[in-house]
Amino acid sequence: METIGFIGLGIMGQPMAENLREADYELVVYNRTEEKADQFVEGGGEKASSPREVAEKSDVVITMLPDSPQVEELVLGEDGVAEGVSEGKLYIDMSSIAPATSRRVHEVLEEKGVEAVDAPVSGGQPAAESGDLAIMAGGSEDAVERARPILDVMGKAVTHIGPPGAGQVAKAANQVVVALTIQAVAEALTLVRKSGVDAAKVREALLGGLAQSKILEMHGERMLEREFDPGFKLSLHRKDLAIALQAAREEGVPLLATAQVAEVMNALLASGHGDDDHAVIARFYEELAGVSDAESATS
């Protein structure tokens, strides 16, 4: 069994690494906040003192980090993964980062004879815990096939989207669709409530037709039940939209609606809703329209 190095034991990374350990992989871990690594190795595995050491001691290195700068630093920076890897190893980045950064990482590692896969995930913490993540992979056919048994431990659906960076492009597209669909449902349900009409009935009727979506089903219900505990934090979704908007600017695609929902999110972040579930977009409209929680709850 290969030894897996795992860097980034946050809300997502920690349960993902645990699933690998339970599948009997040997683990070498690194986390910037050392306590999390200490806690983790109580259940087995080894703690390394740098990403470089992780890479030296592993056959496969996985990173699960917050954003592009962290990947640049811990992979390409001093004592980073790139300094520790050697020919024949495999690198899998499961962070959601800019496609351009992802392609640069692929290039640097390719020069060292190291295959790389970008494999961002969706499904959030519950899916990370149950091993049911949806994984969108970019990289060569060979690299993705080599990564697949490992990815299958963490996810239920692994799709090879295309060449290096393609996984990140798919993830960005996913986050665009999800954000805009939440906003669509928020605008519609706020109009319904303010019109004095039963929003639960409307949601139910709409689910039977062309307006059906997982978001109308799940986030529509959250909006009705006033359930804004995450789920998926608004602040993280805003970060993902920054990636999509940056990629769109580089590619020359004006994402009018995405830019606009990002501003709506900015307003909510400014008023302290960053740690709420992204369904809280509904509140932006309710506050503008003067719909109170009480009204919402009885509608």
Compute the least distance from the CB of residue 209 to a second copy, in Å: 4
Pairwise CA distance, residues 241 & 285, whole Å: 20
Q: One of 36, 47, 89, 171 is an active-site residue; which one?
A: 171
* Chain positions contacting a second copy, by CB under 8 A: 99, 122-123, 134, 136, 157, 159-162, 165-166, 169-170, 172-174, 176-181, 183-185, 187-192, 194-195, 197-198, 201-202, 204-206, 208-216, 218, 244, 247-248, 251-258, 260-261, 264, 285, 288-290
- Minimum distance of a second copy from residue 174's CB (angstroms): 5
| Nearest residue (CB) to a second copy, 52 versus 219 | 219
The reply to whether omega before 231 is within 30° of 0 (cis) is yes
Least Cβ distance, residue 241 to a second copy (angstroms): 11
Write the Ramachandran bin of 95: left for phi over 0, alpha for psi from -120 to 50, otherwise beta.
Answer: beta
**What residue type is 186 in one-letter code?**
A
Nearer to a second copy, 86 or 288 (CB): 288
> What is the closest distance, in whole angstroms, from the C-beta atom of residue 18 to a second copy in the complex?
22
88 near 116, Cβ under 8 Å? no
Question: Has 171 been annotated as catalytic?
Answer: yes
- d(CA 180, CA 215) in angstroms, rounded, equals 10
Closer residue to a second copy, CB minimum distance, 62 or 170: 170
146's tokens: 């080599």
Q: What are the DSSP E strand ranges found in 33-114?
A: 46-47, 60-63, 90-93
Known catalytic residues?
171
